[in-house]
């Protein structure tokens, strides 16, 4: 079918490969290359369509967004043109990201404005919830771990999306990654329009986002980065309850959304969501990075609580392993210890981590000894007072197929697993938690490991050649003898990682957190891109 883009056409459906609309006579091949065959949606300012680009081999699919002004007066056309140009410039600036559709073309034709974007195949979060039901706490944590780094990326480019909601988040079919669409309501913090007599531009007077998802300051035409944090929080409530903002009750005194009685969550996640949803922008999280920091300990609290509650078959004291700092909590009465509350446990872990970080910082030259990996025996670590703290860990062995099957089903936490010697060449395991796992001699060549956590993991002699390790976390990881030739380590966190004998020839370390001392222990060549973006040897 060929679909006519004339907004006034009474019968826009035509036979495939027709040149002219049989109803209104309009040309059907837009700009002599795009053939529209299906409408996708329509809003207040325009409509979106699915099309084929007939100028390219294979005629790939693309999305055409048509901005439809509500009139033809100079004022309305100028407002539409500003909206159109702003969205095009923003997409051009931030579209080079795997979770944002690429801008392919934009143009004006017969007082209609068109954006051509990459087509993202998949279901929206709204469709997912309707088909599959609400998410658990783990599912929401995973959602936040996927979307917060993306939000941070957008905000770092001084852009506020202003319309984050389940209908604007698509889980891409090919790799199950979350993609943020519809930047039509974006606000660019850098270039503001000329204010009108009312003090607002023609743009901000209309493009205010979606009621219920947009916080009070955004509805008052004063959006800030924290406005997107609020909308993301509302989206989390939808994922947990299946209820849209109009289906929820609000506190008549404070205006706060009343949602806590509808969910069963840990106190920690409730507190994080409360702060994301604070109606006062001053006390809300100010950045995606703040939310990520607040959530950092959360993935480990559940396993920590289970360790405190479990009983040892041998009748010895229970030991609970903390992934982040190699410490262990001793408890001869697990039930009593659990009753002291997870808040105390979290505080103890934070204090322990601070002591470990302080001790690590005092070591000469910042050198790091690779993490000692316990298997069936109990190890001992010295704390800052010189005493010995026993440390045990349970490692679960997975084969290649089990790991990939679990990942495709949505699982992203493989901390404390034994994944050594597996063949994972070329697979997509982005956003996965491998904290403290065993990956010795594992083949990860060409794998997509974007934003994955390898903190304290053992990757000795692993094959990471040509892997995507952008923004990966390797704090205190053991990469001795690992093959990282041609790997993309841009903006990766390699602080305190053991890189002795690691091969970084041709690797991209732009913006990576890595010291000169670490680099000196690794193999580099003239193709290695240093953290400052320059190629060459030390």
Do residues 351 and 429 both lie within one domain? no
What's 479's domain CATH number?
Answer: 2.160.20.80
Backbone dihedral angles phi then psi of residue 289, each to the nearest 5 degrees: -60, -40
Q: How far apart are CA 225 and CA 227, in angstroms?
A: 5
Q: How far apart are CA 409 and CA 210, in angstroms?
A: 31
Q: Is residue 378 part of a domain?
A: no
Do residues 141 and 52 both lie within one domain? no
Do residues 88 and 178 both lie within one domain? no
206: confidence class by pLDDT, cuts 50, 70, 90: very low
pLDDT value of position 311: 34
Eight-class DSSP state of 166: G
Do residues 141 and 51 both lie within one domain? no
- The per-residue pLDDT for range 70-79, each reduced to its tens digit, is 666 777 778 7
255: confidence class by pLDDT, cuts 50, 70, 90: confident
pLDDT value of position 185: 56
- The per-residue pLDDT for range 414-444, each reduced to its tens digit, is 888 999 999 999 999 999 999 889 999 999 9
CB count in 10 Å sphere of residue 383: 13
| pLDDT > 60? residue 238 | yes
| pLDDT > 60? residue 298 | no
Report whether 65 belongs to an annotated binding site: yes
- The per-residue pLDDT for range 63-110, each reduced to its tens digit, is 998 887 666 677 777 877 887 787 788 788 786 788 998 889 888 887
* Mean of all residue pLDDT scores within the chain: 78
Do residues 478 and 358 both lie within one domain? no
Do residues 398 and 515 both lie within one domain? yes
- The per-residue pLDDT for range 348-407, each reduced to its tens digit, is 445 545 544 555 454 444 444 333 333 333 333 333 333 332 333 445 788 999 899 888
- Three-state DSSP at 419 gives coil
Nearby residues of 317 by Cβ (< 8 Å), 6 or more positions away: 330, 331, 332
Ranking 67-71, 127-131, 349-353, 463-467 by mean pLDDT, the lowest is 349-353
Nearby residues of 451 by Cβ (< 8 Å), 6 or more positions away: 145, 149, 430, 431, 470, 471, 472
Active-site annotation, residues: 163
Do residues 99 and 153 both lie within one domain? no
Do residues 211 and 354 both lie within one domain? no
| pLDDT > 80? residue 515 | yes
Give the total number of structural domains in the chain: 4
- Where does a domain end: 237, 266, 295? 295
pLDDT value of position 479: 96
Nearby residues of 179 by Cβ (< 8 Å), 6 or more positions away: 99, 100, 101, 120, 122, 169, 170, 171, 172
Q: Is residue 185 part of a domain?
A: yes
Ranking 114-128, 173-187, 386-400 by mean pLDDT, the lowest is 386-400
**Interstrand relation of 396-397 and 417-418 (parallel, antiparallel or unpaired):** parallel
Q: Which domain holds residue 163?
A: 122-191+200-295
- Three-state DSSP at 458 gives strand
- Where does a domain end: 87, 118, 149? 118
Angle, CA of 442, 148 and 186, to the nearest 5° = 135
**In the chain, how many H helices and how many E strands?**
12, 21
Ranking 101-105, 168-172, 355-359, 514-518 by mean pLDDT, the lowest is 355-359
Do residues 149 and 247 both lie within one domain? yes
What sections of 340-399 are H helices per DSSP? 342-361
Backbone dihedral angles phi then psi of residue 21, each to the nearest 5 degrees: -70, 130
Do residues 239 and 348 both lie within one domain? no
pLDDT value of position 70: 64
Burial 274-299 (b: 16+ CB within 10 A, else e): ebbbbbebeebbebbebbbebbebbb
| pLDDT > 90? residue 502 | yes
Q: Is residue 134 part of a domain?
A: yes
- Matching residue, tokens 């001053």: 282
Nearby residues of 414 by Cβ (< 8 Å), 6 or more positions away: 398, 403, 406, 432, 433, 434, 437
pLDDT value of position 462: 97
What's 72's domain CATH number?
Answer: 3.30.200.20
User: What is the average pLDDT across 214-241?
Assistant: 94
Q: Whole-structure pTM over 0.85, yes or no?
A: no
Do residues 400 and 320 both lie within one domain? no
Which one has a higher pLDDT value, 46 or 156?
Answer: 156
């Amino acid at each position: 079918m060929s679909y006519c883009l004339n907004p006034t056409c009474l019968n826009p459906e035509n036979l495939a490969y027709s040149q002219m609309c049989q109803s209104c006579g309009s040309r059907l091949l837009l700009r002599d290359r795009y053939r529209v065959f299906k409408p996708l949606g329509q809003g207040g300012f325009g409509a979106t369509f699915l099309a084929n680009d007939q100028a390219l081999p294979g005629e790939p699919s693309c999305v055409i967004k048509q901005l439809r002004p509500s009139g033809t007066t100079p004022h309305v056309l100028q407002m539409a043109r500003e909206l159109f140009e702003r969205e095009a410039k923003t997409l051009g600036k931030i579209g080079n990201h795997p979770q944002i559709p690429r801008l392919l073309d934009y143009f004006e034709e017969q007082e209609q404005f068109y954006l051509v974007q990459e087509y993202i195949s998949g279901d929206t979060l709204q469709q997912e919830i309707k088909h599959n039901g609400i998410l658990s706490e783990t599912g929401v944590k995973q959602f936040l771990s996927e979307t917060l780094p993306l939000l941070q990326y957008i905000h770092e480019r001084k852009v506020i999306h202003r319309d984050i909601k389940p209908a604007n988040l698509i889980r891409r079919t090919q790799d199950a990654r979350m993609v943020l669409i519809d930047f039509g309501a974006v606000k660019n913090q850098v270039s503001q329009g000329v204010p009108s007599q009312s003090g607002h531009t023609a743009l901000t007077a209309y493009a205010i986002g979606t009621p219920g998802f947009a916080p009070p300051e955004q509805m008052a035409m004063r959006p800030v980065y924290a406005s997107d944090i609020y909308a993301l929080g509302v989206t989390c409530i939808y994922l947990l309850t299946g209820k849209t903002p109009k289906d929820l009750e609000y506190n008549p005194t404070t205006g706060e959304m009343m949602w806590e009685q509808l969910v069963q969550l840990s106190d920690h996640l409730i507190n994080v969501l409360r702060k994301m949803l604070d109606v006062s922008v001053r006390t809300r999280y100010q950045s995606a990075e703040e939310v990520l920091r607040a959530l950092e300990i959360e993935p480990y609290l559940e396993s920590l609580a289970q360790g405190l509650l479990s009983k040892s078959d041998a009748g010895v004291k229970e030991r609970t392993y903390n992934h982040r700092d190699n410490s262990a909590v001793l408890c001869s009465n697990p039930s009593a210890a659990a009753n002291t509350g997870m808040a105390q446990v979290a505080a103890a872990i934070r204090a322990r981590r601070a002591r470990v970080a302080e001790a690590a910082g005092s070591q000469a030259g910042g050198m790091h000894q690779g993490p000692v990996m316990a298997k069936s025996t109990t190890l001992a670590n010295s704390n800052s007072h010189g005493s010995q703290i026993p440390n045990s860990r349970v490692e679960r062995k997975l084969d290649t197929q089990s790991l990939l099957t679990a990942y495709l089903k949505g699982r992203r936490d493989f901390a404390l697993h034994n994944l050594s010697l597996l063949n994972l060449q070329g697979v997509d395991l982005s956003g996965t938690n491998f904290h403290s796992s065993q990956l010795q001699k594992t083949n990860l060549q060409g794998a997509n490991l974007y934003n994955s956590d390898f903190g304290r993991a053992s990757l000795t002699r692993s094959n990471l050649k040509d892997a995507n390790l952008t923004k990966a976390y390797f704090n205190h990881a053991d990469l001795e003898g690992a093959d990282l030739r041609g790997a993309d380590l841009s903006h990766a966190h390699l602080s305190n990682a053991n890189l002795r004998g690691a091969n970084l020839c041709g690797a991209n370390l732009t913006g990576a957190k890595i010291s000169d001392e670490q680099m000196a222990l690794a193999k580099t060549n003239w193709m290695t891109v240093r953290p400052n973006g320059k190629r060459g040897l030390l």
